[in-house]
Chains A and B, each alone.
Chain A
Amino acid sequence: MIFRRYKTSLVAIVALILLLAYYWYKQPLILSPFGLRTLANQGTTLALAALAQLIVVLTGGVDLSVGAIVGLTNCVAATYMGTGPASVIGVVILTLAVGTVAGMINGLFVAYGRIQPIIVTLATLYVYSGIALLIRPQPGGAVPDFYAHALTSAWGYLPYAFVVVLAVALLIWTPIMRTRLGTAIYAVGDNPGGAHMSAINVNRTLIAAYALGGFFAACAGLFLTAQTTSGDANVGTTYTLNSVAAVVFGGALLGGGRGVALGPIVAAYFISIIISVLFASGVSPFYQSIFQGGILIVVLVFGNAWTLRARNWLAVLRS
């Protein structure tokens, strides 16, 4: 029963295993405590951003402001964190609240404004980046060592970054997706008309999903802050499109209704690590982007080949 839902993650898992095997062959040191920690830290921000993207994609939308919210929360955290444990905890909560509110605003426009999600979030992308720039016109800021250490260090072979991702996935994502709200999010993305007919409040579900997306983006921002120990308003840009790539690569349907957390998280590590792998195998930096994109396309084509079995082209075009 479990496997039915998780088999959409299979392409990403197999791809990551193959990639890591090749990486290990080129660079055996990745299996050291230091190597694992580097791998984990490299991909965790994107993994959390992918969760933010996934919950919106499940409703049939897309959130282009994910990167902007990551950048905004990064600036908030790095600017106000202070040094004492109390202020750190306070600012962490504040940062999560900022992300949630930013997501909720997206949701309100999508639900009640009936505006295409891609346009709403494109507009808020600019607004949130602008606010981040007001807070932190130049890169900078600081976080206490214990904060950075707590998120990015390692306990022997176990990097704390993995613990962070597992905690967010198992203690926050999974319980939420197991409530009525979670089912409603899938239902709304799968068949909005049917959801309405089944007495689900479609608008409230949308708002909740976008707000949760903002929350997960704030989690990504907090991790990024620990990793870079500074704030930068422009740092989030790459996470928007990479999070969409991770979500699709991880087996979710862009049309909504299908997808689990496992695939996008795994895909996020794949996408984050691939650059290092290309570097380790001696590909010139000038060719890295070409290889990165090419590898993604090849993997996606393999993963998607089954769609073409449909009998009716109309069905293929609508899927």
Chain B
Amino acid sequence: MTSVETSPAKGTEAGVLLEARGISKSFGGVHALSEADFICREGEIHALLGANGAGKSTLVKILSGVHQPDAGTIRIAGEEATFSGPADAAAKGVATVFQELSLFTHLSVAQNIMIGHEPTGALGQINRKHMRATVKGLFENLGITHLDPEALISELSLADRQLVEIFKALSRRPRLLILDEGTSALGRKEVERLFELLRKLAKSGTSVVFISHRMSEIREFVDRMSIFRNGRHVASVNASECSDEEIVEMMLGERVERAFPQRNVVAADARPLLEVDHLSGGTRINDVSFSVRRGEVVGIAGLEGQGQGELLLALFGAYRRLTGEIRVDGKPVRLGTPWRAKKAGIVLIPEDRKTEGLILPMSVRENISFATLPKYGSFGFVLPARERAFVEEMIARLSVRVGSMEQPARSLSGGNQQKLVIAKWLDAGSDIFLFYDPTRGIDVGTKHAFYELITDLTKQGKAVVLYTTEPVELIGLCHRVLIMDDGAMVTELTGADITEENILAASLGLKRKAPNGSAGSPVNRGARP
């Protein structure tokens, strides 16, 4: 372990390892962080909390050298520090475990942990024995017995991969260890073990900064928490001195007001258009059942990465070997490929419009007419006049801002790109629309256009499934909201129960008394497969 300086430098509080002041960062005009402060003391475990988009991840990326701040200063043990990149930050004692795993799947556990600083002999040969011993020593120190240093990463479970990622950071003996959603793949027991391990580290003087959405799981393990909201630092509190309610209150802050169109009234006798029965499979869909009626918007909520994306992909046929049944209009459909889903009348507005939604180098016209080409063709040839007429109609209907329909999709703004994705499917004769976070990274005006569009779709008798990371959209648009946790539906909220408090509380797994009486009806969780 590197020696930890105990004498504080000028102007720094004793025992403070990291001090970030006035950190600002914006991406393409959107403020991810504005003048945020953050202080981490030596040897403490510090959790960063905040709703989606609060700026936690941006802060972590700045502290670990991935992003450079637009403004603000960072001091480590009183000395001002700037990081040119992750390697530089690591050299200065800040090691980070990222959400996106940075492991090498075909290399061994030991090779991954020691990469870049392997012990070598006189001829540059890696001393494998020494390397194994070092890794074993790291494991033993922290009581890990089940990991084989020689195992290949490709053979490990996701949870073990995360452990390897953590050890990879630890092997450089950092003074500050940052875990970005380090527990998202871990089960309860594994989280406990990880925190035991972190506690040992903290005792030896290493500071740990930790991002997690699972507040209820981690509270008992952390010393302090900093709460962020809309890119600003709200407060830092001792974990033992704050109740769940107070924290949720701080995370939410004042309400965001946004105008939503009048919701479509679903006829009382409307039949379910999409029915999902005990659907399991993919990487984490666990016994999901729900239905959507004609004219209805059903929201899928929960913390990020709880299986919402997988569920939409599964409904669109991206996964094979699903168990359970999916019925459209009462008839069971066999899904398994996107083209079969399209035939059954299901379309997906995917998560990443750039890779899954559009073909960026191709023109606006081609992107819009792709999915419906046979319609304006004759004997297999596209009739350009008909195609152009259709594209023009779509551009007008969705008010896409383009110079010409021949310009490449790449040159459009995010909001207009998203409109193209929707235009592509709008006239494909589909009745069921799955939206994956459709308004992410889009300006408010365009967002409103999407709200209108979704409402219009329901007025035409279509069914909409909406996953969004913005609770206001769930409240403003949805007839019902289903909350997912770890691949399963845990709570259903309807009507007036759809409030931000209820959604957040249900997402965090808190049993919180809602102002409206009930906190929604719990959905039976199926047994794990």
Chain A residues with a Cβ under 8 A of chain B: 1, 4-5, 175, 178-184, 186-187, 190-191, 193-200, 253, 257-258, 310-314
B residues in contact with A5, CB < 8 Å: 152
A residues in contact with B277, CB < 8 Å: none
B523 within 8 A of partner (CB): no
A residues in contact with B168, CB < 8 Å: 198
CA distance in complex: A200, B115 (Å): 8
Q: Specify the main secondary structure of chain B where it touches its partner.
A: loop
Shortest Cβ gap from A299 to chain B (Å): 22
Asked if B111 and A190 make an inter-chain contact with CB atoms under 8 angstroms apart, the answer reads no
0/1 interface trace, chain B 117-137, chain A, CB 8 Å (1 if under): 010100111101000000000
Q: How many A-B residue pairs have CB under 8 A?
A: 93
CA distance in complex: A1, B128 (Å): 13
Asked if A187 and B318 make an inter-chain contact with CB atoms under 8 angstroms apart, the answer reads no
Interface centre among B107, B151, B282, B283, by most A CB within 10 Å?
A: B107
> Do A183 and B115 contact each other (CB < 8 Å), given the known contacts A190-B106, A191-B105, A197-B86?
yes
A residues in contact with B101, CB < 8 Å: 194
Asked if A313 and B102 make an inter-chain contact with CB atoms under 8 angstroms apart, the answer reads no
Asked if A257 and B86 make an inter-chain contact with CB atoms under 8 angstroms apart, the answer reads no
0/1 interface trace, chain B 138-172, chain A, CB 8 Å (1 if under): 00000000000011100100000000000010000
A residues in contact with B106, CB < 8 Å: 186, 190, 253, 257-258
Shortest Cβ gap from A157 to chain B (Å): 33
> Do A314 and B90 contact each other (CB < 8 Å), given the known contacts A183-B126, A197-B98?
no
A-B complex: 6 closest residue pairs judged by Cβ atoms: A199-B87, A194-B102, A190-B104, A258-B106, A179-B124, A1-B150
What residue in chain A is nearest B90 (Cβ atoms)? A199
Residue from the list A183, A184, A196, A312 in contact with B319, Cβ < 8 A: A312
Asked if A191 and B103 make an inter-chain contact with CB atoms under 8 angstroms apart, the answer reads yes
Q: List 15 A-B contacts (CB under 8 A).
A: A4-B151, A175-B125, A179-B120, A179-B123, A179-B124, A180-B124, A180-B126, A182-B126, A187-B115, A193-B100, A194-B103, A199-B86, A257-B106, A311-B281, A313-B320
B residues in contact with A184, CB < 8 Å: 115-116
Shortest Cβ gap from A179 to chain B (Å): 4
What residue in chain B is nearest A316 (Cβ atoms)? B320
Shortest Cβ gap from A53 to chain B (Å): 18
> Do A183 and B102 contact each other (CB < 8 Å), given the known contacts A1-B150, A312-B319?
no
Shortest Cβ gap from B61 to chain A (Å): 11
A residues in contact with B150, CB < 8 Å: 1, 4
Report the contact-size class of chain B (Cβ under 8 Å from the partner).
Answer: 35 or more
CA distance in complex: A187, B105 (Å): 9
CA distance in complex: A186, B111 (Å): 10
Interface centre among B90, B124, B150, B168, by most A CB within 10 Å?
A: B124
Residue from the list B90, B107, B118, B318 in contact with A186, Cβ < 8 A: B107
> Do A311 and B282 contact each other (CB < 8 Å), given the known contacts A191-B105, A194-B102?
yes
B residues in contact with A179, CB < 8 Å: 120, 123-126
Shortest Cβ gap from B97 to chain A (Å): 11
A residues in contact with B120, CB < 8 Å: 179-180
Chain B residues with a Cβ under 8 A of chain A: 85-87, 90-91, 98, 100-107, 111, 115-116, 118, 120, 123-126, 128, 150-152, 155, 168, 281-283, 313, 318-321, 337
> Do A194 and B118 contact each other (CB < 8 Å), given the known contacts A179-B124, A183-B111?
no
Interface centre among A182, A194, A195, A314, by most B CB within 10 Å?
A: A194
What residue in chain A is nearest B172 (Cβ atoms)? A199
Residue from the list B91, B107, B126, B320 in contact with A187, Cβ < 8 A: B107
A residues in contact with B321, CB < 8 Å: 311
Shortest Cβ gap from B1 to chain A (Å): 20
Asked if B320 and A311 make an inter-chain contact with CB atoms under 8 angstroms apart, the answer reads yes
> Do A178 and B318 contact each other (CB < 8 Å), given the known contacts A183-B115, A187-B107?
no
Shortest Cβ gap from B286 to chain A (Å): 14
Asked if B282 and A312 make an inter-chain contact with CB atoms under 8 angstroms apart, the answer reads yes
Interface centre among B106, B120, B321, by most A CB within 10 Å?
A: B106
Shortest Cβ gap from B283 to chain A (Å): 7
Additional 10 contacts, C-beta under 8 A, given A191-B102, A196-B86, A198-B115: A179-B123, A180-B118, A183-B115, A186-B107, A190-B105, A191-B104, A194-B104, A197-B87, A197-B98, A200-B116
Asked if A314 and B318 make an inter-chain contact with CB atoms under 8 angstroms apart, the answer reads yes
A residues in contact with B100, CB < 8 Å: 193
> Do A311 and B283 contact each other (CB < 8 Å), given the known contacts A190-B106, A191-B102?
yes
A residues in contact with B107, CB < 8 Å: 183, 186-187, 190, 257
Interface centre among B115, B124, B337, by most A CB within 10 Å?
A: B115
What residue in chain A is nearest B168 (Cβ atoms)? A198
CA distance in complex: A199, B128 (Å): 20
Residue from the list A175, A197, A253, A314 in contact with B123, Cβ < 8 A: A175
B residues in contact with A194, CB < 8 Å: 101-104
What residue in chain B is nearest A2 (Cβ atoms)? B150
Asked if A313 and B318 make an inter-chain contact with CB atoms under 8 angstroms apart, the answer reads yes
A residues in contact with B126, CB < 8 Å: 178-180, 182-183
Interface centre among A180, A181, A310, by most B CB within 10 Å?
A: A180
What residue in chain B is nearest A1 (Cβ atoms)? B150
B residues in contact with A198, CB < 8 Å: 87, 102, 115-116, 168
B residues in contact with A178, CB < 8 Å: 125-126, 128
CA distance in complex: A257, B153 (Å): 12
B residues in contact with A195, CB < 8 Å: 104
What residue in chain A is nearest B64 (Cβ atoms)? A197
Residue from the list A257, A312, A313 in contact with B104, Cβ < 8 A: A257
A residues in contact with B85, CB < 8 Å: 196
Interface centre among A1, A183, A186, by most B CB within 10 Å?
A: A183
B residues in contact with A187, CB < 8 Å: 104, 107, 115
CA distance in complex: A285, B51 (Å): 71
B residues in contact with A311, CB < 8 Å: 281-283, 319-321
CA distance in complex: A312, B118 (Å): 36
A residues in contact with B282, CB < 8 Å: 311-312
A residues in contact with B283, CB < 8 Å: 311-312
Residue from the list B102, B105, B118, B318 in contact with A193, Cβ < 8 A: B102
Shortest Cβ gap from A141 to chain B (Å): 36
CA distance in complex: A266, B320 (Å): 36
Shortest Cβ gap from B174 to chain A (Å): 13
Asked if B102 and A197 make an inter-chain contact with CB atoms under 8 angstroms apart, the answer reads yes
B residues in contact with A183, CB < 8 Å: 107, 111, 115, 118, 126
What residue in chain A is nearest B118 (Cβ atoms)? A180
A residues in contact with B151, CB < 8 Å: 4
CA distance in complex: A58, B102 (Å): 18
CA distance in complex: A183, B110 (Å): 11
Shortest Cβ gap from A202 to chain B (Å): 11
B residues in contact with A200, CB < 8 Å: 115-116
Shortest Cβ gap from A312 to chain B (Å): 5
CA distance in complex: A85, B90 (Å): 53
CA distance in complex: A186, B105 (Å): 10
CA distance in complex: A199, B319 (Å): 36
B residues in contact with A180, CB < 8 Å: 116, 118, 120, 124, 126
